[in-house]
Structure 1
Amino acid sequence: MSPEHAPRRSQVVMVEPALSQLQKLTAAETHRLDRVIVAISVNPELGTPVPDTLLRDHADDVDGARVICYVTALRHIAILAYVEA
């Protein structure tokens, strides 16, 4: 990899229930959630594995947002129905 380029970010996809929840958030809550999603796209290993599942639970205490997601083998990240801000 060229030193001028950072590692490729993971692709983030939101499922319909998560998109519905986003419509209910304020602009400030959306901004806080966006920061967490960007962090996860850069490092999909963030968060804690949920026992006996393929899910990861990431809570960001600084931004006050929590995301439960699934990281595929191709490093695509699906944001699940449960997001809170």
Structure 2
Amino acid sequence: MLPEPSGRRSRVVMVEPALTQLTKLTANETHRLDRASVAISVNPELGTEVPGTLLRDYADEIDGVRVIYYMTALRTITVVAYVEA
């Protein structure tokens, strides 16, 4: 069962590798990724834990999007390390 969203969105920030990947996406792929980013900002626990790390791996099979990210300690910022669309 998925955890309930807190009602407060986290701020999504992308690090350099993710920003570089963004430049290679089409407008349609960017739109799909935006929807995934919003979903993660509302409920940062959507993704599954990557064992042995602080990372989470979120894959939306319908939109064909994958995002690897981690949350700051206070869960106010979600840092995206990798995107795939």
**TM-score, normalised to structure 1's length?**
0.89
Distance 2:12 2:53 in 1: 19
Cross-structure match for 1:59: 59
For 2:18, the equivalent position in structure 1 comes to 18
Partner of 1:72: 72
Partners of 2:18 and 2:80 in 1: how far apart? 7
Q: What's the RMSD between the two structures over aligned residues?
A: 1.1
* Residue 32 of structure 1 pairs with residue 32 of structure 2: yes
**Shift of the alpha carbon at 1:26?**
0.1
Question: How far apart are residue 52 of structure 1 and its match?
Answer: 0.5
Tell me the percent identity.
73
1:43 is displaced (CA, Å) by: 0.1
Runs of 5+ in structure 1 lacking a partner? 1-5
Higher deviation after alignment, 68-77 or 25-34: 68-77
| Matched positions, count | 79
Structure 2 residue runs of 5 or longer lacking an equivalent are 1-5
Per-residue CA deviations over 1:18-41 (Å, capped at 9, x if unaligned) read 111101100000000000010000
Which residue of structure 2 aligns with residue 3 of structure 1?
A: none
CA shift, 1:62, in A, is: 1.1
Q: Which aligned runs of 4 or more in structure 1 are off by greater than 6 angstroms? A: none
Which residue pairs with 1:50 in the alignment?
50
